[in-house]
Amino acid sequence: MNDIILLKVGEIILKGLNRRRFEQKLLGNIRWRLSRLGKYRVYILQSTVYVEGDEGADMDLAFEELQKVFGVVAISRAAACAKDKDAIAKLAIDYLRDDMLRAKSFKVESRRSDKSFPMTSVELSQYVGGELSDAYPDIEVDVHDPELVVHIEVRDLAAYVHAAPVPGAGGMPVGSNGVAISLLSGGIDSPVSTWMIARRGVRPIPVHFFSFPYTSEQAKEKVIELARLLTPWCGKMRMEVVPFTHIQEEIRDKCPEEYFTLIMRRFMMRIAERIALDNGAKAIVTGENLGQVASQTMEAMASTQAVLHLPVLQPLIGMDKSEIIAQARKIGTFETSILPYEDCCTVFTPRHPRTHPTVAEVEEAESALDVETLVNEALAGLERIAIDYEESL
């Protein structure tokens, strides 16, 4: 019995003349993901990716890992056989034995992409359904609301039998839509925004601003752990840690208190853009959510983004906090995000922050600072940390 994994691609099928590039990126991501588990043959035919393991390859672990590959909408464990109705029926009886014995009712659904097969999809479903009913007489046939759906696909190379697929990660293959800088703090929002932009095919470069001794080494390790938790989805990354203490002290000493947070964020944007230009990144990603805090009003965001030439992508902009928390739980970052180690955004927080500033007002408030010197100083102190996927296992 030839046990394989079938992965159904999603939006890639809509890509027209660019489709091949997206498919190759997806195949590369899958091969990289499986490379530490053993030897696998990975190929794509008719919008389906096939994963076949060599002897000794762990198909159970491969199936689990592939559920986190962006670009895949559904994933199934399947078995292959010759394109013959009796071989298909026997395979269904044997391969799905445990599934059949757990179910009280079933039906068969067939797809026949190989039109040379001598039976129609309906005829094949009826034939295999009859054979399954004879083999498992205590299980009812229910074509309207069955507990188990037996799937049969007759394709170019073989016929395949599997039970219901499980959902894949969806989205686009990481790296298919370029590179972006993703601002990664220790909170709940920024890991989710990083995950969401990776799901759209963007390879994220996380950037973290660190203000020792106002923020602790534990806070920094917390962010590194958040990056590790994202690697099963995003792939291995290099995190850029920016020393931010001197900038925040200069803001505290020379700027009006109500503008502290806005000026701080303007420096973050300037530094992020410089890092982006050095790494070929085409956008800045933030975890901002409209109206969530004082610095996330439309006027405040306009004042912080006014220093940029690159676009700012905000995947969370219209989400409720409860939706963001639910997503953080789903991707496995929530419990780490709520650890009690605060990041630099909580340092020197103004008592009465300005929520509806004009750009001119913020520019005037930061005019006492030597912006270029402070930015260059921070960039000179960058710490680069490799975040490898295997470290997260």
In CATH, what number is assigned to the domain containing residue 261?
Answer: 3.40.50.620
Domain termination residue (choose one: 169, 195, 218):
169
- Tell me, yes or no, whether 187 and 317 share the same domain: yes
β-bridge partners, 79 = 3, 161
- Which candidate, 122, 98, 102, 126, places its Cα nearest to that of 112? 122
Distance CA 118, CA 141 (A): 24
- Tell me, yes or no, whether 260 and 386 share the same domain: yes
Q: Considering the entire predicted model, what is its pTM?
A: 0.89
Distance CA 259, CA 364 (A): 10
- Tell me, yes or no, whether 161 and 192 share the same domain: no
Q: What is the mean pLDDT of residues 288-313?
A: 91
Number of domains into which the chain is organized: 2
Whether 33 and 69 have beta carbons less than 8 Å apart is answered as yes
- Tell me, yes or no, whether 198 and 259 share the same domain: yes
- Tell me, yes or no, whether 190 and 159 share the same domain: no
Decide if pLDDT at 1 tops 60.
no
- Tell me, yes or no, whether 195 and 125 share the same domain: no
Per cent of the chain over pLDDT 90 is 82
293 confidence band (pLDDT: 50, 70, 90): confident
Segment 152-201, tens digit of pLDDT? 999 888 999 998 899 999 999 999 999 999 999 989 999 999 999 999 99
Full residue range of the structural domain in which residue 242 is found = 179-392
- Tell me, yes or no, whether 76 and 153 share the same domain: yes
Average pLDDT of the chain?
A: 93
Domain termination residue (choose one: 147, 169, 191):
169
Does residue 383 lie within any of the structural domains? yes
Does residue 204 lie within any of the structural domains? yes
Q: What is the mean pLDDT of residues 268-278?
A: 98
Does residue 68 lie within any of the structural domains? yes
Distance CA 276, CA 329 (A): 29
Decide if pLDDT at 390 tops 80.
no
- Tell me, yes or no, whether 93 and 156 share the same domain: yes
Helical pair 217-234 and 321-331, crossing angle rounded to 10 deg: 70
- Tell me, yes or no, whether 387 and 249 share the same domain: yes
- Tell me, yes or no, whether 316 and 184 share the same domain: yes
Does residue 174 lie within any of the structural domains? no
